[in-house]
C-alpha cells in the first residue's frame, strides 16, 4: 500500500528523520563488507524496507507513542517510563526488533551496534530527547538501518 509508505515517510520527516539519514547508517556499516556499495543502493534498500507493511505499522505505532508521551496523554507510571527512556523498559527495542528480524538474524548484530554506539541520526535523536520524546523512534530507525544492512548482505552473497 503505497499511501501507507508515504504516510510513514511523512511522519519520519515530521520527526526530522530523512531516508538519507538512515541510508548513511547503512552505508557506514556496509562499506567494509561490500566495498562497491553506493549511497544510492543504500537509499533504495532503506526505501524497500519502508515498503514492508510490518515496518510501516511498527513505525506508526512507535511514533504515535512518542507523540502521546510528549503531550502527556499516557497515564503514569508508563508516561514517566517512556519520557525518561528507562533502561529496563525494553518495549521500544522489542518493537524495533520486529523490523530488524525481517531479513534474518544478521540484522540483530547491526541493531545491537547501532543501539549501543548511536552514530549519525541516532545520536541526534538521542540528544533531542530533552526536546522531543524519541524513546521509540531512535530504536525504530536503528531497526530500519539494521534490516537494510541485512537485506544488502543477503543480496551480495
The confidence score (pLDDT) of residue 2 equals 59
Q: Is residue 86 left, alpha or beta, with left meaning phi > 0 and alpha meaning psi from -120 to 50?
A: beta
- Separation of alpha carbons 9 and 82, rounded Å: 23
**8 Å CB contact between 151 and 46:** no
Which DSSP state fits 103? G
Condensed to tens digits (0 to 9), the pLDDT of residues 87-133 reads 999 999 999 999 999 998 889 999 999 999 999 999 999 988 778 99
* Structural domain total, the chain: 1
Among residues 88, 67, 95, the alpha carbon closest in space to that of 79 is found at: 67
Domain that holds residue 115: 2-155
- Separation of alpha carbons 30 and 35, rounded Å: 8
pLDDT tens digit at each of 157 positions of the chain: 459 999 999 999 999 999 999 999 999 999 999 999 999 999 999 999 999 999 999 999 999 999 999 999 999 999 999 999 999 999 999 999 999 999 988 899 999 999 999 999 999 999 887 789 999 999 999 999 999 999 999 987 6
Dihedral sign of CA atoms 143, 145, 151, 153 in order: negative
Q: Phi and psi (nearest 5°) for 64? A: -60, -40
Look up the CATH number of the domain holding residue 66.
1.10.3760.10
Amino acid at each position: 500500500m503505497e499511501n501507507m509508505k508515504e504516510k510513514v515517510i511523512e511522519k519520519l520527516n515530521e520527526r526530522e528523520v530523512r531516508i538519507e539519514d538512515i541510508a548513511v547508517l547503512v552505508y557506514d556499516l556496509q562499506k567494509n563488507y561490500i566495498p562497491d556499495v553506493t549511497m544510492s543502493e543504500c537509499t533504495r534498500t532503506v526505501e524497500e524496507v519502508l515498503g514492508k507493511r510490518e515496518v510501516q505499522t511498527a513505525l506508526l505505532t512507535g511514533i504515535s507513542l512518542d507523540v502521546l508521551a510528549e503531550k502527556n496523554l499516557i497515564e503514569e507510571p508508563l508516561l514517566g517510563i517512556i519520557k525518561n527512556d528507562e533502561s529496563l523498559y525494553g518495549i521500544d527495542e522489542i518493537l524495533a526488533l520486529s523490523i530488524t528480524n525481517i531479513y534474518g538474524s544478521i540484522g540483530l548484530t547491526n541493531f545491537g551496534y547501532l543501539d549501543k554506539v548511536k552514530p549519525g541520526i541516532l545520536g541526534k535523536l538521542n540528544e533531542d530527547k530533552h526536546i522531543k520524546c524519541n524513546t521509540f523512534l531512535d530504536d525504530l530507525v536503528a531497526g530500519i538501518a539494521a534490516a537494510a544492512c541485512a537485506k544488502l548482505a543477503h543480496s551480495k552473497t
